[in-house]
Structure 1
Amino acid sequence: MALTEESIGELCGVLGNKGVLTGNAAGPRYRTDPRGIGEVLPALVLRPANTDEVSRVMAICHAENQPVVVQGGMTGLVIGARPQAGEVVLSLERMNRVEKVDPEAGTMVVQAGTPLQVVQDCANAHDRFYPLDLGARGSCTIGGNLATNAGGNRVLRYGMTRNLALGLEVVLADGTVLSNLTGYLKNNTGYDLKHLFIGSEGTLGLITRATLRIFPKPRTQIVGFCAIDSFAAVVETMTHLQQSLGADLSAFEVIWCDTYTATISDVAGITPPLPTGSAFYVLTELMGSDKRHDRDKFETALQDAMQKGLISDAVVSQSDREVDNLWAVRDGMAEAMGQQQPAVGFDVSLDIPDMANLESTLRQRLADALGKVRLFIGGHLADGNLHLVAKHVGADPQPRELIESIVYGLIGEIGGSVSAEHGIGTLKRDHLPQSRTPAELAVMRNLKDMLDPKALLGRGRILPPRDHSENITPLSRNPDNEF
């Protein structure tokens, strides 16, 4: 740790007794993430309560060359927020308020440590809707959603987190504050700097507040759960529903048969909506504004698909409780995959036509290399994002490097992305060149060196640690601490 006793005293003076944790007080939540791959005890946990405190803390750490890792809800899956040796943790858990809601303008200003479900509930209380939705909604935070550009279940209609952010407040590595929380949809005043920080995983700056888009609350929400016997029929069903429902189609999720079987058998509280035995299961959702006609429109679209021979069986929600029960099956998929440990998980994007043979090709390549394997696949088909778990049966630990080389090798062959919505962190860092060109990686490096010349923020996440013998010209610190 680079901090001196004097600088630690300064930090305590800025944050007060509640703001600094040391030793055993820095409990397990600060030491690891859901991957659970080892714990690291941080020397300090810093818990600022507002942007000014974040700025003052970063100025001290910058002066002392102290590496910092930012933490939110600790639900990430790429070992990005787990501390490394010598780092202090900066947790935004105390910055957890919704500051302003403007239903007419369709905006909400929130602090970065606010849980996603709090934002959803607050929007709902104002008869509005914040569409980002993840299985970890009760724990993940808005700052983490923005830092990883989270996707979730409704990207098809509303886009990624990037599409839901109108303005950001960010603290740079030296404590400089960039604050632009304007809620304009149209704002062509030069470079849109917020997009540098959305998806940067805390490596370029620390997001402290955001202005988010909120939408009129849908008056109808209807969910269908369908059994389908071929991948070609899955794709044709999706196209049919897009044409029939238009913008009201808010979700189209697919679960491969083995994954569905594991979900309904291994996850507590799941009520099987349909029998096993089909090749694929699809959850599709309509969110609309016409209570008189939306149900008829949705059910007619599904019936037409059944008459065309695309869907072999289906159920449609008749109440809010049934909506929740059907979504619980989709959310339970992630839990079922997690219960396969030890195993190796993936979050990839690829063109929809390339998904048709994904399972058979991967299963063959993994079996050729390893013998007996199990494979679980499912995800957000309409936006090209699939989640995948591969398991070498009987192996503990798993041959992670070999499995990753096979899976990412195939993804690279077909021009896919090694990360669709979970980010890079440290877990996928070495595979990033399969999805980014050398020129792109060089620009990323230049941005990192410009905004964080001492490489103090999220060191070694996304990009390998820089050779500190390089000569980097730092940014000059603004004496007023704000642009």
Structure 2
Amino acid sequence: MTAPAAPEVLRHVDALAEVVGRQHVLVGEQVPARHVQDLWGSDRKGVASVVVCPGTPAEVARVLRLCAEHRQPVVVQGGMTGLVSGGVPGPEEVVLSTERLDSIGEIDPAIATVTAGAGVTLADLQDEAARHGLVVPIDLASKGSATIGGCVATNAGGVNVVGYGMTRQHVRSLQVALADGRLLELSTPLVKDNAGFDLKQLFIGSEGTLGVVTAATLALRQAPRTRTGVFCAVADVAGALELLTAIRAQLPGMLTAFEVVWADAYAVLDGLDLRLPLPMGYPVYVLAEVQGGRPEADSEALLACLASIEHVLLDSAVADTAAELAVFWQARERIPSEILRMQPLFGFDVSVSARDLQDCLERMRAELTERWPQVKLLVFGHLGDDNVHIAVVTGEQTRKRKAEVEHIVYGCVSRSSGSISAEHGIGFEKRPYLGYTRSPEEMELMRSLKALLDPAGILNRGRVLTWGNETDPA
């Protein structure tokens, strides 16, 4: 049941309704549950007192101008598929939902770009691009809910980063509404545009703290003619890296995904009504996908590559058809949802250089085991881009020692010169640990940018950086 709305927020309802229409301002019991918590859940569950749903970028700007005049805090929401509670609202905040900004511009295959509203889901944009023989280079497991605005605001990664790069690499131009209600067109869709500062880069990955992305023009890619893959078992990270190096060298430019799953994480699939690519019991599993344009030669090239490093492979299965490749991905994509059943657990999305990853995980396991002898460390991720997901199950039936787990995991990551956030941002959840990855000078510059673009601090207050008299316990 939604908690009583704060009177300070309620006093803006009529004015907001004049901007977007009364039916697009939700209050109290009208607010759907999806507005109060991340899709994956977390310790933080919010209160959505007022939700406003603008239908155009101009309405977004007017809503922000109204809120700025009254110093009314605003939290921006997309598909709520994050992991760091960045969109989870407090009772004193107006929720600005981008869900109605769902228009998709015309796609010209010769130019291979598309302009999409912030509320367009990644899946819908992928479908539209496919009708023109093109692909959106970004791909996420949550693509049915994740929005383009959210992907830009968090600089989303996903499974194709090893081949295509992060969201940042595909953004040609942005439309952004600032906290004071100014609506800006940042950069142009041109491939080459070096006219002054590239201001759009400030907003990519800023998690809605500097402005609200209302639309983005993205570069598309030609759809591949072939997709094939291999599911392998190897002895350790070194073996996985040898496989990665061989594929990159022998099939240049073709590798689009390189997923690695450690034994404990693969074991969560045991007993499910699911076809497993390989049996249980191997130390490390690898799923590699390659894409190309030569239907017969590409498959032969992959087989030749595997033969050249046969000494590294404990077992392997090659996908000769799209259906077989889908089996590989079904196993990989099922792992997160099965791990989430192991509550209470503590989930982490971090980056560590592949060359340092094995030592980092060993230190992490040792430090966790000292405090929780029954601890389980379930690891999987995108090794080709240094990103791994770590689930820690301590064996306790409480989350009271969450901070202890976080200090150990982030401490090990920091000592390995890694990043506490690979692809989900900072939000509320990781804010106390930002200093593990960013220097005091960097954080001070971030605060200066925030003060310049949002002097009243109304946008996503308290996310990423402290605000006002807030302090962090870390």
Q: Distance in 1 between matches of 2:326 and 2:131?
A: 19
Q: 2 CA distance for matches of 1:363 and 1:395? A: 19
TM-score, normalising length: structure 2: 0.95
- Taking the TM superposition and a 5 Å limit, the aligned residue runs for 1:187-202 are 187-202=193-208
Which of 76, 80, 83 aligns to 2:86? It is 80
8 Å Cα contact 1:169-1:181 kept in structure 2: no
- Residues 1:296 and 2:291 aligned together: no
- The CA distance in 2 between the partners of 1:166 and 1:292, in whole Å, is 35
TM-score (ref. length: structure 1): 0.93
2:375 maps to: 373
1:350-369 pair list within 5 angstroms: 350-369=352-371
Partners of 1:330 and 1:181 lie apart in 2 by 38
Change (3 A) 1:365 1:5: closer
Displacement of 1:40 in angstroms is 2.5
Separation (CA, whole Å) in 1 of partners of 2:274 and 2:360: 27
CA distance in 2, matches of 1:66, 1:220: 52
The code of the aligned residue for 2:389 comes to H
% identical aligned pairs: 39
Q: Match for residue 406 of structure 2?
A: 404
Q: Which residue of 2 aligns with 1:157?
A: 163
Supply the AA of the counterpart residue of 2:286: V
Match of 2:274 in 1: 270
1:337 shift after superposition: 2.4
Match of 2:439 in 1: 437
Q: Identify which of 344, 350, 359 aligns with 2:346.
A: 344
Deviation of residue 357 (structure 1)?
Answer: 2.4
Counterpart position of 1:30: 35
Would the aligned equivalents of 2:173 and 2:187 in 1 still touch at CA under 8 Å? yes
1:438-477 paired onto structure 2 within 5 Å = 438-467=440-469
Partner of residue 236, structure 1 = 242
SS at match of 1:284: strand
- Structure 1 residue ranges (4+ consecutive) displaced by more than 6 angstroms after TM superposition: none
CA contact (8 A) 1:337 1:389 kept: yes
Q: Which amino acid aligns with 1:394?
A: E
Q: Distance in 2 between matches of 1:95 and 1:426?
A: 25
For 2:229, what is the secondary structure of its paired residue?
A: strand
1:21 aligns with 2:23: no
Query: In 1, Cα distance between the equivalents of 2:325 and 2:372?
Result: 41
What residue number does 1:63 align with? Answer: 69
Counterparts in 2 of 1:344 and 1:79: CA distance versus 1, 3 Å: same
Q: Give the CA deviation at 1:180.
A: 3.3
- Number of equivalences: 464
TM alignment of 1:119-134, pairs within 5 A: 119-134=125-140
Worse overlay, 64-73 or 224-233:
224-233
Secondary structure in structure 2 of the residue aligned to 1:339: coil
What RMSD in Å do the two structures reach over aligned CA positions? 1.5
Q: Tell me by how many angstroms 1:360 deviates.
A: 2.5
Provide the residue aligned with 2:286 in structure 1. Answer: 282
The alpha-carbon deviation at position 466 of structure 1 amounts to: 2.6
Structure 1 stretch displaced more, 334-343 or 89-98? 334-343
Distance 1:368 1:180 in 2: 51
Contact 2:42 2:83 in 1 (8 A): no
Would the aligned equivalents of 2:9 and 2:49 in 1 still touch at CA under 8 Å? no
Structure 1, residues 141-173: CA drift from partner, whole Å, max 9, x if none?
A: 111011000111111111100001100000001
Structure 1 position 2, deviation (Å): 7.6
Note the alpha carbon deviations across 1:354-409, whole angstroms, 9 max, x for none: 11223332221111122210110011101111100111113323521111111111
TM-superposed CA distance for 1:28, in Å, is 0.6
Q: Does structure 1 conserve the Cα–Cα contact (< 8 Å) formed by 2:44 and 2:85?
A: no
- Higher mean C-alpha deviation, range 442-451 or range 322-331: 322-331
Deviation at 1:65, TM superposition (A): 0.8
Structure 1, gaps ≥5 residues long: 469-483
**Is the CA contact (8 Å cut-off) linking 1:347 and 1:418 kept in structure 2?**
yes
Q: Is the 8 A contact 2:187 2:193 kept in 1?
A: no
Which among 231, 235, 247 is matched to residue 225 of structure 1? Answer: 231
1:174-217 Cα offsets, whole Å, 9 max, x none, are 11011136211110011101110000000000000000010111
Q: In the alignment, which residue of structure 2 is the partner of 1:259?
A: 265
Distance 2:129 2:403 in 1: 43
Which ranges of structure 2 fall in alignment gaps of 5 or more residues? 1-5
In the alignment, the residues of structure 2 paired with residue 408 and residue 177 of structure 1 have an alpha-carbon distance, to the nearest angstrom, of 38
Report the Cα distance in structure 2 between the residues aligned to 1:236 and 1:5, rounded to whole angstroms. Answer: 59
**CA–CA distance in 1 between the matches of 2:445 and 2:274?**
46
8 A Cα contact 2:9 2:50, kept in partner? no
| Aligned-residue offset at 1:224 | 0.8
Q: Residue 12 of structure 1 contacts residue 19 of structure 1 at CA under 8 Å; is this kept in 2?
A: yes
Deviates more, 1:154-163 or 1:290-299: 290-299
Distance 1:446 1:38, change over 3 A: closer
Q: Measured at CA, do residues 446 and 181 of structure 1 come closer, stay the same or move farther in structure 2, by a change above 3 Å? A: closer
- How much does 1:90 deviate? 0.4
In 1, are the aligned partners of 2:73 and 2:457 still within 8 Å (CA)? yes
Following TM superposition, by how much is the alpha carbon of 1:69 offset from its aligned partner in structure 2, in angstroms?
0.3
Instruction: Summarize deviations over 1:416-471 as a string: whole Å, max 9, x none.
Output: 10001110000000100010011100100000000000000000000011349xxx
C-alpha offsets along residues 45-74 of structure 1, whole Å, 9 cap, x if unaligned? 000011010011111111111100000000
Alpha-carbon separation, structure 2, partners of 1:334 and 1:38:
20
Question: 1:233 touches 1:310 (CA, 8 Å); kept in 2?
Answer: yes
